[in-house]
Structure 1
Amino acid sequence: MAKIIIVCGKICVGKSTYSKKLMLEQKAVRLNPDELMKTFCGEFLGDRHEEVLQQTLNYIYKKAIEIYSTGINVIVDGGFWQRNYREEATQYFIEHNITPEWHYVDISDDLWKKNIEKRNREVERGTSEDYYVDEYILDKFSNPADKPKSSEIDVWYKNDYL
């Protein structure tokens, strides 16, 4: 039976790398909101970011169910760092009689900072299409209250590589 896997964690912890590996192992389709948003809206959304993210997630949720209904596994590779996004996603899928499988990518603070520095250097050089991680974004991911509880997560993956 197919499943929907939702990968969550802070920015720059290796969620997409993990999701791409999981995609091959699970023979799944991977859906990523950042990729869609950058493709259709560009990099700098400013105060429209949350609105566009919500619209993108709504689209991804519908597509995930459509793909799932054909018997194919789906990986939703998003941040879901904020508790309200995790709750919303879980509720949406449960309303469609699907219990999503949650995977959390965890990382040490030291390695996280190194990943951010590496990513920003690559963005500045033009060798990465990722978002540049500025102070606003860092602040958004610094709220410890949003870290998932172990009871919310099915797979807790510890990333220990740069």
Structure 2
Amino acid sequence: MATAHLLFGFLGSGKTTLARELEQRHSAVRFTPDEWMARLFGEDPPAEIFQEKVAATLALLEPVWTRCLFLGVDVVLDYGFWARSERDHARSLAQAHGGRALLYNVECPIDEARRRVATRNREETRSLYIAPETFNLLMCRMEPLQADETFLRIQHKFQ
């Protein structure tokens, strides 16, 4: 049975690094919306259209990753899944397309996450630029995992 690997975690927690590891380990197809958004809409889309572009990107990816599951291919969804409704939706879609969902809680201390995002922002090849004020603003948007959500806890080590 194909697996949808769902990555929950805040900016800079190590989701994309884990996604790349899972992609290799499971011969999976990785979907990292930040990378798609940067290529489609630029590295720093204006705030007033950002949510619209996120929705468009996710709508573009959904039929592709669900088709992969239907064909028996594992997928890695490097989405963040900050809202419970997003996690529930992905789990439901995985099951509806003959797969199963496995949720990973990717954690790291907030100061380390902030440092990683700042470092990533300076790299020549990055996905989306995250301004320090945006980092702070987005922290309040995460809905914690609930007691009824089964997950694997990942405390990733990085250099």
Instruction: Quickly name the TM-score band, shorter chain normalised.
Output: 0.7 to 0.9
SS of equivalent residue, structure 2 residue 130: coil
Match of 1:21 in 2: 21
Is the alpha carbon distance of 1:55 and 1:153 closer, same or farther for their aligned partners in structure 2, counting shifts above 3 Å? Answer: farther
Give, in angstroms, the shift of residue 144 of structure 1: 7.4
Distance 1:87 1:72 in 2: 20
For the 8 Å contact 1:111–1:160, the answer to whether it is kept is no
Residue deviations 1:36-61, cap 9 Å, x none? 11111212142221122122212222
For the 8 Å contact 2:9–2:82, the answer to whether it is kept is yes
TM-score, length-scaled by structure 2: 0.84
Two-structure CA RMSD over aligned residues (Å): 2.2
Residue deviations 1:74-126, cap 9 Å, x none? 1111122233332333344345454421112111123212212322332xxxx
Residue deviations 1:115-151, cap 9 Å, x none? 12322332xxxx2323222144213431276132354
TM-score, length-scaled by structure 1: 0.83
Is the alpha carbon distance of 1:117 and 1:109 closer, same or farther for their aligned partners in structure 2, counting shifts above 3 Å? Answer: same
Structure 1 residue 77 corresponds to structure 2 residue 74: no
Residue-pair matches, total = 158
Distance 2:41 2:141 in 1: 30
Match of 2:101 in 1: 100
Match of 1:54 in 2: 55
